[in-house]
Amino acid sequence: MPADFSPYINLKPLDIEAETVYLGAIELAQLVLPDLRLRQGTVEDAIFQAMAYTTMLNVAAINRLPDRLMSGMAALLGIGAVEGEFATLDVDINLYTGESPITIPKNSVFVMSEVFDGIRYEYPFLTTQDEIISSTSSASPDTITLTSQKVGIHPTPTAGDAVTLLTVNSAIETIVVSSPLAFYAGDNPEPDEVFLGRCAAALRSMNATLCTADQIENYILTNYKIVSKCKVYDLMNASNRILQTDIKSVSGITRASSTATVTSNSHGFSTGNLIKISGANQSEYNGIFSISNVTTNTFDYTVTGTPTTPATGTITAVRVNDDQEGNVYVMLYGQEKVVTSSEWTTIKTDISGRSIAGSVRVSWSLQPPQDQRQTTKDREQRQRGDEIKDQCFRCHGHLQIKKAGETREDISPAGGTRRQK
């Protein structure tokens, strides 16, 4: 039976507040001393409050212990969490005419701004070394590379957008996003639940040889971070052979000698596909057959015996995974992108060498699944929305809603300021 570590993934909902411990301790003490009444400012009350706070910390630590154990086990297996990546941005800088070269010190803060839904967001970037600026011509400015102050995905700027240096320097005339654009958006850290889920999948897939579809699926999800979703079908198991989205209605089957001709409008099948025919009252028509003479609305296959023609019943046709190379069929979706042929070839070669199924039939998605079909701008907007809510809850305990005509200045997701009118 596969190992299931899901109960250890997240025990944080079992955390308790210090107030709950405090009131529970008083209630318990009153069972022994019914007349006990704690008053603020007394030694007894201070002891109870200190005890409650310490207990709250201990409970929180215990509830996070399984996660740390899983992290340690994963480290022993060579599985690390995705820590995220910093964004990088190239900017062009030029000085006023006649100015002498200047040095911009390491860790100087530059701010890239963007307005979204009427709110201005500021994203700080830093220099990673001392930068010497000498150009006084906007036609040939000096270009430097900045690194984001925080790990995570940043919105894509437009070439020529103004960038602000927080340290005032009167010699600088302009600072703009370089053209052509040289920008890397960064990457978000892997959520704890995703990382711990990969750890559990790794433990389930531990075997020198991949023997089952589940082991292959867990192996791919554990070892290839480019893959966000994976499904492996066991073609030796009839229940896994059907691609249910391919089910077609059959309007009729006629027979001439041993050739059955199926009529199914716009069936989409191709010559050589394995098609499962079901629902015919004459059992000879039912089964899995290789089809030929395919047209837009018809195809042929060979039947045995002499069943009545035309066939009767509520008949359907569905393509099965017509694997000719091995015993499993693998389908992948990339991490917010399509898995490329070269990436797929690498994965196929790996799992083929580890699988007792021999050569593995491989398929990849031509586009991400529905929940990943979004433009880069959509992802950035959704990401900013999530960050805004998270920042508001962490800073204020509630999400503030702007009223008509109100102006508000607050902390932005990137640690700067945001202004709304």
CA angle centred on 264, ends 259 and 266, rounded to 5°: 125
% residues pLDDT > 70 (the chain)? 71
Q: Which tops the pLDDT comparison, 203 or 162?
A: 162
Residue 345 has pLDDT above 70, yes or no: yes
Residue 20 has pLDDT above 60, yes or no: yes
242-319 is classed CATH 3.40.50.1000: no
Residue 352 has pLDDT above 60, yes or no: yes
Quick one: average pLDDT of 171-182? 91
Per-residue pLDDT of 112-147, as tens digits, reads 988 888 888 889 999 999 999 999 888 889 999 999
Domain ranges of the chain: 6-76, 86-184, 192-239+324-371, 242-319
Residue 420 has pLDDT above 50, yes or no: no
| Interacting residues of 268 by C-beta distance below 8 A, sequence separation 6+ | 246, 248
Mean pLDDT of the chain: 76
Per-residue pLDDT of 196-222, as tens digits, reads 777 777 776 666 566 677 778 888 887
Residue 163 has pLDDT above 50, yes or no: yes
Strands (E), 152-250: 163-165, 172-177, 183-184, 227-234, 248-250
**Architecture of the domain delimited by 192-239+324-371:** 2-Layer Sandwich (3.30)
Residue 355 has pLDDT above 60, yes or no: yes
Q: How far is CA 148 from CA 17, 127, 129, in A?
A: 36, 9, 14
List, in sequence order, every residue forming a beta bridge with 417; answer none if it has no partner.
411
Burial of 35 (0-12, 13-18, 19+ CB in 10 A): exposed
Matching CATH number, 86-184, of 3.40.50, 2.40.50, 1.20.120, 2.40.30: 2.40.30
